[in-house]
Amino acid sequence: MENDLYRKFNAIFTEILHPDDSSYDLDTYCETKNLTEDKVFNILNNYSDCIVPILGYTGMGKTYLMHYCIRKKYGVKGLLKNMSFIVKDGMSKSIIIYASYDANRMDKVENGRLAGKLGAASDIILKELKMDNETKEEKSAISEKVAKYIRHNKAELLEENAPSTDALDIEKAESLYNKNQLAYEQEKLKWLLTEKATDIKDVIVILDDIEGLVNVQKKNLVEYELIDTYLKMYDCLRRCENEDRKYRVKLFLCMRERTYNEVKKSAWYNTHRVNNDPFFLTSGISLGEIFMKRFSAIESKTGVLEEIKKKDTWEEAKNVLNRLSDELERILGDSILEICNYNVCDAVQLFASILGNRQWTQKSERAQASFKIEEYQYYLSPASCFRAIAMRNATIYTNEHHLTNIFYDNDKMGYCLPVYILMMMNEVGANRRELSLEQMQDNIIKVLKCESGIEKEKREQIKEIVHYFTEREIFFEKIIVLSEMEVDCKYYISPKGKAILRNFFDNTIFLEIYRDDIFLDDNKHNLDCSSSLTREDLFMEVIKIIDEIGKEEAEYMETFVNRGTLTIYYRLWRNERISIKLIEAQKKSLYKYYKQSVPDKLMRSLVSIEAKYREALDTFTRY
């Protein structure tokens, strides 16, 4: 059962939480709040050729940014993806070629699909120039002009693909079309762009939605080949024998940062002289603002206000929702984005689900038939919001939703190994730590100095944990193409992984949540779920968990000392200790909840385990 805010605005919340792709008003929903929009407009307005990489995680808004900018600058309406169209901008014209490579459309090779897009653009220009291209005779006349243009500008194309040495140029051009359609269509488009009657000033090409083009055999090689194809097309359109070239070429490449980081190392990428720094979609996103824009857009579109007689209560409730949205943005907006790995669509849905949650964010437990939206009924804190994310409207955590249990399988793996792996991958400063599975395994094995029998078991455990973290998007895979037949795979921690690790050590709410998933079948602990316990009992349970983690970590530290591997430990984890960090987090939680009146029982228990493990771990680290 959702809360009264959800019930009041049921139709709107339902559409936000279960969106139909066709329902999105991109201009109001997807406008970004960073400076990237202005940068794109500057590129569209300048008079030079350029290549612009647009970088962002999957779902972060690369497509929406380009849609928004094209719509806003040129007043374009309707569909954009996989479309070619001419737009007028003041006294000049631009032709826009939008190339969207959805994963379910891998039915043609990349060169053929790009050739088709360029051919569609040429057809539009032919219509603009009122050059008939319907009858066989008209098509033949155009083909002759294309052949003549190729002969003058790039004769080797005709000769390399000629059916015979004595063939006519139009026959050679036809053969070129059959053997290398992309080369033919590029030359045909250049011919049209250089025609005296053509007044197009900009050729804007947008390459988008390439994330799904991962061929099972070739891994990310498909993405790289596609980018290379578009870069070559860009260079081809720029190389024009006509010294008085009237048009400029602008190529936007929308891709993930991990793809860009690999592509930019390639020799072929650098040969295209990509001088522009990439535009990053990583900051300035306000989920609260996007949510309320989305709300208002649906409200306006559905005409819901016209159907409501008491508009004053609607507006009053909407004002409460707006204030709560601002509050949620303030306390947890950035973390929600990170937990969704910057997928803005997913983040807005998660944001809405918190605002609509009854179990953890509304004080009144029962839904009444008649109700009034009053702000005092709702409470938003990091703890209540994290519970809403982890459990939705349930009272027990089962590791099904966004907040992954990083302990994974504590009976089999223990507590420390998964956390050690996360801490090892957590980068310091601006450097991103990227390791292969084998490197992670080697690091752990070196610091443990495992015997051969235990080493094999430990490697399997690490492999299992890394697979689990990758499956839950705590780690990202980066495929490195060594050759067409050989690839390497490295891992790095995702924004979600960083957010979970940071909050895990910032307070003990995550331990309180995880407790339901790891201890309710353990007779050493209270078998009631966390939501059924008093606050004091729950804090005591968390202290017990920290105590168990401390015992295990002390055993690890003793192993490092006895086997002389502390230096390796420092290299991997510096002087960080899991149990000490959790003790500090528990202190923070206790003081925040009880202010200056922490119950003696809790304080004595915490002081006791702190003295025990701080002394033990400090003793080990002095060696």
Question: Which amino acid makes up residue 449?
Answer: K
pLDDT digits (tens, 9 = 90+) for 240-286: 866 678 899 999 999 887 788 778 877 777 777 676 788 887 666 78
Strands (E), 358-474: none
Other Cβ atoms within 10 Å of 306 Cβ, number: 7
Question: Which amino acid makes up residue 421?
Answer: I
What tokens were used for 496?
Answer: 């979600």
Q: Taking a C-beta distance cutoff of 8 angstroms, is the pair 153, 173 a contact?
A: no
Domain ranges of the chain: 4-16+285-391, 62-280, 410-621
Crossing angle for the helix pair 110-128 and 181-194, nearest 10 degrees? 20
User: Degrees (nearest 5) of the Cα angle 531, 535, 537?
Assistant: 90
Burial label, 6 (beta-carbon count in 10 A; 0-12, 13-18, 19+): buried
Ranges 65-79, 224-238, 407-421: which has the least confidence:
65-79
What pLDDT, on the 0 to 100 scale, is given for residue 46? 86
Using alpha carbons, list the distances in angstroms from residue 406 to 387, 399, 413, 544: 16, 10, 11, 18
Q: Taking a C-beta distance cutoff of 8 angstroms, is the pair 372, 366 a contact?
A: no
pLDDT above 50 (res 388): yes
CA dist., res. 299 & res. 315, Å (int) = 12
* Helix or strand (DSSP H, E) at 532: none
Q: How confident is the model at residue 480 (pLDDT cuts 50, 70, 90)?
A: low
Crossing angle for the helix pair 344-355 and 311-339, nearest 10 degrees? 130
Ranges 65-79, 322-336, 425-439, 443-457: which has the least confidence:
425-439
SS3 479: strand
* Helix or strand (DSSP H, E) at 491: strand 487-493
pLDDT digits (tens, 9 = 90+) for 576-607: 889 999 999 999 999 999 987 999 999 999 99
b or e along 60-81 (b: 16 or more beta carbons within 10 Å of the residue's beta carbon)? bbbbbbbbbbbeeebebeeebe
What pLDDT, on the 0 to 100 scale, is given for residue 164? 87
What pLDDT, on the 0 to 100 scale, is given for residue 500? 96
What pLDDT, on the 0 to 100 scale, is given for residue 523? 65
Q: How confident is the model at residue 150 (pLDDT cuts 50, 70, 90)?
A: very high
What pLDDT, on the 0 to 100 scale, is given for residue 308? 67
CA dist., res. 384 & res. 620, Å (int) = 38
* Percent with pLDDT over 70 in the chain: 86
What pLDDT, on the 0 to 100 scale, is given for residue 153? 87
CA dist., res. 529 & res. 521, Å (int) = 11
| φ, ψ (nearest 5 deg) of residue 260 | -60, -45
Q: Taking a C-beta distance cutoff of 8 angstroms, is the pair 6, 359 a contact?
A: no
CA dist., res. 54 & res. 36, Å (int) = 9
Strands (E), 272-387: 279-280
In sequence order, which residues have a C-beta less than 8 Å from that of residue 105 and are 6 or more positions away? none
pLDDT above 80 (res 21): no
What pLDDT, on the 0 to 100 scale, is given for residue 471? 94
pLDDT above 90 (res 32): no
Most confidently modeled range among 79-93, 135-149, 382-396, 567-581: 382-396
What tokens were used for 462?
Answer: 């690490």
Other Cβ atoms within 10 Å of 426 Cβ, number: 17
CA dist., res. 494 & res. 489, Å (int) = 15
Q: Taking a C-beta distance cutoff of 8 angstroms, is the pair 449, 565 a contact?
A: yes
Other Cβ atoms within 10 Å of 196 Cβ, number: 6
What pLDDT, on the 0 to 100 scale, is given for residue 524? 67
The residue-averaged pLDDT of 417-431 equals 83
Of 578, 560, 487, 517, the C-alpha closest to 215 is 487
Question: CA 127 from chain center: how many Å?
Answer: 40
pLDDT above 60 (res 575): yes
- pLDDT, mean over the chain: 84
* Helix or strand (DSSP H, E) at 394: none
What tokens were used for 308?
Answer: 């409501």
pLDDT digits (tens, 9 = 90+) for 483-537: 666 777 889 999 999 999 999 999 899 999 998 888 766 666 777 888 889 999 9
Burial label, 475 (beta-carbon count in 10 A; 0-12, 13-18, 19+): buried
What's the whole-model pTM score? 0.78
What pLDDT, on the 0 to 100 scale, is given for residue 209? 79
Using alpha carbons, list the distances in angstroms from residue 29 to 34, 104, 154, 189, 266: 14, 25, 47, 35, 36
Find tokens 């989305």 and name the residue: 294
Sign of the alpha-carbon torsion through 211, 215, 219, 222: negative
**Beta-carbon-side half-sphere exposure of residue 498 (alpha carbons within 13 Å):** 18
Which one has a higher pLDDT value, 230 or 215? 230
pLDDT above 60 (res 219): no
Find tokens 């194809």 and name the residue: 229
Other Cβ atoms within 10 Å of 424 Cβ, number: 18
**Beta-carbon-side half-sphere exposure of residue 552 (alpha carbons within 13 Å):** 18
Q: Taking a C-beta distance cutoff of 8 angstroms, is the pair 52, 250 a contact?
A: yes
Q: Which residues on adjacent β-strands are paired with residue 100?
A: 208
Of 325, 269, 322, 331, the C-alpha closest to 509 is 331
pLDDT above 50 (res 466): yes
